C-alpha cells in the first residue's frame, strides 16, 4: 500500500514539475552584418539580451521613441555576452558593428 502511494505521489510530483515549469521564450532573434536599429519589441519584467559577434560590436537599449536608455555591452573580437533587465516595456536595440553578429532577446521565466 505504501509503495502504491509512493508511486502515485512521485508520479504526480513529476507531472506537476513538468506542467508548472516555465521556459524561456525568444522574443527576437536577429543576425546581420554591420550596424542597424531593430524593430520595437515588448517584454515583461525579467528579460535578457544575449549577443555574439565575430569582431567589434556595441549594443544600446532604446526606448519606444528611439531615445537611448543605456549601453548594454561592447565586445571586441570573437566574443559575446548577456545583459539582464528587471523592468519590462517596449524597446528596440541599436547594434553598431563592423562584423557578423547575432542578438537574441529572451523573456525569462
pLDDT at 19 over 90: no
Query: Within 10 Å of residue 37's Cβ, how many Cβ atoms?
Result: 13
Q: How many separate domains does the chain show?
A: 1
- Containing structural domain, residue 94: 23-107
The verdict on residue 92 lying in a domain is: yes
Residue 29 lies in a domain: yes
Distance CA 41, CA 64 (A): 9
pLDDT at 21: 57
H or E segment to which residue 109 belongs: none
Read off the DSSP letter of residue 54.
Answer: S
Whole-prediction pTM value? 0.77
| Domain assignment of residue 2, yes or no | no
Structure confidence at residue 14 (pLDDT): 41
Residue 16 lies in a domain: no
CATH of the domain at 55: 2.60.120.380
For 59-70, what is the mean pLDDT? 97
Query: Is 15 within the bounds of a domain?
Result: no
Q: What is the mean pLDDT of residues 32-59?
A: 96
DSSP string, 67-107: -EEEEEEEE-SSEEEEEEE---EEEEEEEEESSEEEEEEEE
Percentage of the residues of the chain whose pLDDT score is greater than 90? 72
Does a structural domain hold residue 41?
yes
In a domain, 86, yes or no: yes
The secondary element (H helix, E strand) that includes residue 13 is: helix 2-20
Q: Domain for residue 103, yes or no?
A: yes
Residue 75, pLDDT score: 86
Q: Which residues pair with 80 in a beta bridge?
A: 52
Separation of alpha carbons 53 and 80, rounded Å: 6
Amino acid at each position: 500500500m505504501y509503495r502504491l502511494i509512493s508511486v502515485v505521489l512521485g508520479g504526480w510530483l513529476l507531472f506537476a514539475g513538468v506542467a508548472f515549469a516555465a521556459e524561456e521564450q525568444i522574443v527576437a532573434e536577429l543576425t546581420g552584418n554591420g550596424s542597424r536599429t531593430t524593430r520595437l519589441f515588448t517584454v515583461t519584467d525579467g528579460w535578457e539580451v544575449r549577443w555574439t559577434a565575430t569582431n567589434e560590436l556595441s549594443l544600446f537599449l532604446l526606448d519606444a521613441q528611439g531615445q537611448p536608455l543605456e549601453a548594454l555591452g561592447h565586445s571586441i573580437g570573437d566574443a559575446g555576452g548577456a545583459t539582464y533587465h528587471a523592468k519590462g516595456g517596449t524597446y528596440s536595440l541599436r547594434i553598431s558593428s563592423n562584423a557578423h553578429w547575432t542578438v537574441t532577446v529572451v523573456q525569462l521565466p
